C-alpha cells in the first residue's frame, strides 16, 4: 500500500519540476523591435538577440554592409504579386516568398514563376496557426505539408527558411524548426501594409521603407498591398542610389557559414 501511495507523489514531483521548464520554453513571443531610423539598425533587445542566436535565427544582417534582404509574406492572392515579380525581374532583385498552404493550392502558377525567376520559397506554415498553441507533431505536419507541396509543383525540392505565422514563436517552436532543418527568418523593417481596405497610396509604402532602411535590413512586405506593388520599383531604384544592394537569404547563410563553419552541421 505504501508503494501505491508513493507513485502519484513521484509523478506529481516530476511534473512540478518539468512543467516550469516546459512553460518557459513555450512562452509565446510576439516578434517586435525598435524601428531603425537615420540608417541605424533596428534593435530587438538583448533577450531576443540572444534567443535568436541560440537557435541560429536572424532578423538583420551585418551593420557594416549596405546589403538588403527582401522578403514577402503570401497568405492569399490579391492581384499584385505578378506586378511585384515583374519589378523584381526588371531590377534583378532576388527575394524570398513565405507561402502558406492556401497560397500553394490557389496560386500554383505564381509559385512556379517565383522559383523560375530565381526566388526562394519559404515556409509560412500550411494553415497559419499560432505555432505556440499547437503540438510538436502538428508543427512538424504544418511545415512538412508546405515543403512537400512546393516540391510537387516547382523545381525547389528543399526548404530551409521559416517565417512563423503572425510573428509568434517560442523556444519550443524554434527547437522543433531547427530539428526539421529550418532557420527562423524574422525581420527588421516592416509597417502596417497588409490591411487591404486601408491602403494609403504608394508614397506611404515608399516613405516607410526609406525611413526605416538600414544596413543588413530584412525587409518584410505583403504582396496583398496595392501600395507596395506601386512603390516597389521606385523604392528599389532609390535604395540602389543610396548604395544598397539586394541579396538572397542564401547569400546571408553562406556568409554566416564562413564565419561559423559549424552552423547548420
**Catalytically annotated residues:** 73, 222
| Residues 37-74 as b or e (16 or more Cβ within 10 Å = b) | eebebbebeeebeebbeebbbbbbbeeeebbbbbbbbb
**153: Cβ contacts below 8 Å, ≥ 6 apart:** 104, 108, 111, 112
Opening angle at CA 211, ends 90 and 28, nearest 5: 95
**152: Cβ contacts below 8 Å, ≥ 6 apart:** none
Beta strand 245-246 pairing with 95-99: unpaired
Q: Which three cell numbers stand for residue 137?
A: 507533431
Q: Which three cell numbers stand for residue 16?
A: 512540478
Amino acid at each position: 500500500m505504501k508503494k501505491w501511495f508513493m507513485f502519484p507523489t513521484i509523478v506529481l514531483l516530476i511534473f512540478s519540476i518539468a512543467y516550469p521548464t516546459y512553460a518557459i520554453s513555450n512562452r509565446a513571443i510576439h516578434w517586435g523591435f525598435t524601428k531603425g531610423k537615420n540608417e541605424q539598425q533596428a534593435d530587438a533587445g538583448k533577450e531576443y538577440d540572444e534567443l535568436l542566436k541560440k537557435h541560429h535565427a536572424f532578423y538583420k544582417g551585418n551593420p557594416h554592409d549596405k546589403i538588403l534582404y527582401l522578403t514577402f509574406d503570401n497568405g492569399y492572392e490579391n492581384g499584385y504579386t505578378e506586378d511585384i515579380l515583374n519589378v523584381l525581374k526588371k531590377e534583378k532583385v532576388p527575394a524570398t516568398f513565405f507561402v502558406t498552404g492556401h497560397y500553394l493550392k490557389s496560386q500554383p502558377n505564381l509559385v512556379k514563376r517565383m522559383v523560375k525567376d530565381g526566388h526562394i520559397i519559404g515556409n509560412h506554415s500550411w494553415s497559419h496557426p499560432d505555432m505556440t498553441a499547437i503540438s510538436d507533431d502538428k508543427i512538424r505536419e504544418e511545415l512538412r505539408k508546405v515543403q512537400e507541396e512546393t516540391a510537387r509543383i516547382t523545381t525547389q525540392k528543399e526548404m530551409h527558411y521559416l517565417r512563423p505565422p503572425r510573428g509568434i514563436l517560442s523556444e519550443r517552436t524554434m527547437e522543433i524548426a531547427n530539428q526539421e532543418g529550418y532557420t527562423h527568418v524574422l525581420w527588421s523593417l516592416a509597417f502596417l501594409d497588409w490591411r487591404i481596405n486601408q491602403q494609403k497610396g504608394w508614397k506611404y509604402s515608399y516613405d516607410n521603407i526609406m525611413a526605416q532602411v538600414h544596413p543588413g535590413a530584412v525587409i518584410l512586405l505583403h504582396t496583398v498591398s496595392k501600395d507596395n506593388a506601386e512603390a516597389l520599383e521606385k523604392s528599389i531604384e532609390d535604395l540602389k542610389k543610396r548604395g544598397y544592394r539586394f541579396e538572397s537569404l542564401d547569400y546571408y547563410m553562406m556568409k554566416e557559414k564562413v564565419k561559423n563553419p559549424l552552423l547548420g552541421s
